[in-house]
Amino acid sequence: MRPGILLIFTLFCTSVICQFTENFDDGNITNGPVWSGNVAHFIVNAEGSLQLQAPAAGESMLHTQASFPDSFIFEIKNTLDFSPSASNLSRIYFLLDQSDLSKANGYYFNFGENGSTDAIRLYELTNGSSNLLASGPSGAISLNSNPIHLRMEYASDRKLIVSADIGETGNFIPQFEITRSLKFTPTPLLLFQCIYTASRTDKFTFDDISITAYAPDTSPPTLSSSSINEEGNQITLVFSEKLNGSDITASNFKIVPADVSVSNAAFQSGAENIVVLTLNQAIQSNKDYTVEVVSISDTRGNTSNNIISNPLRIFAKPGPGTILLSEILFDPVSGGSDFLELYNRSEEPINLKGLVVRNESNNNSKSIETDLIIAANGYLALTPDPNQVAAQYQVPAGAAISFFELPAFNNSDGHPSIYYPADILLDEFSYDEDFHNPLIDDNEGVSLERLSFDSPFGDGNYGSAAASVLYATPGYQNSNFLNGAAIGDEPFTLVSKRLSPDGDGMEDELLISYKLPEAGYLLNLKIYDANGQLIKTLANNELLGTSGFIKWNGANEDGMVERIGVYILKGTYHSLNGSTEEINKTCILALKL
């Protein structure tokens, strides 16, 4: 056997209860209890855990004497900050009769093996030879980091139960249960063994070790958590302990309200404290359901009746016409962040998980990987830095801003789009820095807002956010928002008959909305002053869609803002069949004196 470190604990006993605890809060391993062996290979780290700190590849052990009562509960936290293997593993020995493992008798847990099937395994050691007694679920400890909180119960009826919280979830998952008489020795040892390569010399930690007298389980099982899958047809119930399998029947679980029912109930593979319920159909979206557990028992016969779960709900998924692009900041201030705002046009909350955000200009895309709910008729701004965006634009209470790593957007131009699923386009918008109001001297930190959700984000359906909202409205209604009443139902409508191009964000541009029975109309539209002099050509045989906006910022052909006064819009629009209609409207250009 190569040099090792043997870890041993002292057990304090009274006539009523025997107990050992060690959490390394004293910061040393030289007293209370005293460690023997290769003590120099271990430290107590800043987190107060015992950590391997070996100089080179090899094996390390520490040892002390530790008695176990006839019935006991043994707990320990053992973290392997790597994927275990036959070359990198830990073993926890207990009830050993000596520290020479080549001759010893006792038991040990093994954490690590070749391949990806690493499981928690229990062995008996007889004169140095190992015999496998039981194994937990295959692959349970095969991750790149494995925080393991091991719990072993041994009762006078010879029943040995091992469970573990793997990954610091707060839930102990049953690993295995066997019936066996353990062999006790007068002066037993508790021993830790670390086997490691050169790259793993500091990747083992131990903490929160306890040995306590076992008290019979008289507590009935409780429901720890409940969840439902995205499809809404399968419910998972996690209980506090292993259950009696005869209770796992469909009739023992009721769904309220009863518009759905349980068609099948079964344990989750390898976990007899987790029950999976299959429903006869999916539950309705945006409606609360609960599960009533009629009666459930643990393996010792302790029974709970009429357990009620927390409310369960699924949310509607994005679809065409429900989630729209609303606003984009693509040129933030120095040190600031882009944001992309979405709008939920539907009457119910929608889960955005699975939504793909793309920039078609550079083929970059990001998808929302976790649940993210956007309220009915609500706005949601996505940004890599929600705190910075909220602070810069002094958003009101209730503004919805969420962290999301957006694809990169250029300051000059871009083409954001959203998909759900990944191949179905929901909305898109091709922007250019020239889309900003020319009266704004510096576009940095100024967002482009959608004016109306009744027209595509384009065709003039955008505007620079107003100065009154600090040039952006992340997570709440756009400063330039126009409802259907403002747009009107005529083929061509002045949203407002006045413009005041002074750069304050209020009526800086004249908006002419259009709604046409079909796409393909050709528009000719010009602005004249009250004397009939041509001021600006707004459209010259411009091809129109079915709806959109035409804008005038008050400037003439030379780019100079015109004088205060009345102006006339005159033009024609031609249909595909050759019919021609006239446009004749007036507006007022007003400026602050």
Domain of residue 130, residue span: 12-213
Q: Do 361 and 434 belong to one domain?
A: yes
The CATH number for 278's domain is: 2.60.40.1220
Which of 174, 190, 213 lies at the terminal end of a domain, its last residue? 213
What's 69's domain CATH number? 2.60.120.200
In a domain, 237, yes or no: yes
* pLDDT of the residue at 16: 35
Q: 24-55, pLDDT tens digit by residue?
A: 888 888 877 877 888 899 999 999 999 999 99
Name the band, by pLDDT with cuts 50, 70 and 90, for residue 593.
low
Q: Do residue 435 and residue 462 come from a single domain?
A: yes
Residues 69, 187: one domain? yes
Q: Does residue 134 share a domain with residue 232?
A: no
For 385, half-sphere exposure in the C-beta direction (CA atoms, 13 angstrom radius) is 12
Beta strands in 40-127 (DSSP E): 42-44, 50-52, 58-65, 72-80, 89-96, 106-111, 120-126
Q: pLDDT for 508-531, tens place per residue?
A: 889 898 888 887 899 999 999 999
Q: Do 249 and 207 belong together in one domain? A: no
Are 324 and 463 contained in the same domain?
yes
Question: What domain count does the chain have?
Answer: 4
CATH number at residue 507: 2.60.40.4070
3-state secondary structure of 170: coil
Could you tell me which of 463, 477, 333, 321 has the C-alpha nearest to residue 400? 477
Residue 126 lies in a domain: yes
Q: How far apart are CA 396 and CA 381, in angstroms?
A: 13
In a domain, 357, yes or no: yes
In-domain check, residue 3: no
Spatial CA neighbour of 491 closest among 516, 519, 473, 474: 516
| 304 and 320 assigned to the same domain | no
**Residue 93 domain flag:** yes
Point out the domain boundary residue: 439, 463, 481. 481
> Does residue 7 lie in a domain region?
no
Cβ count within 10 A of residue 414: 22
pLDDT digits (tens, 9 = 90+) for 166-183: 998 888 888 999 999 999
Do 338 and 240 share a domain, yes or no?
A: no
Nearest of 317, 321, 313 to residue 235 by alpha carbon: 313
Q: Which of 308, 333, 359 is the last residue of a domain?
A: 308
Q: Which of 79, 96, 97, 148 is nearest to 120 (CA)?
A: 148
CA distance 164 to 302: 21
**What pLDDT, in 10s, does the model give residues 192-211?**
999 999 999 999 999 998 99
Do 472 and 488 share a domain, yes or no?
A: no
**Can you give the pLDDT at residue 17?**
47
Same domain, 127 and 109: yes
Q: Is 535 in the same domain as 464? A: no
Q: Are residues 100 and 185 in the same domain?
A: yes
Tell me if 218 is assigned to some domain: no
Asked whether residue 39 is domain-assigned, the answer is yes
Quick: pLDDT tens for 429-440. Answer: 999 999 998 878
Give 226's Cβ-side CA count (13 Å radius).
22
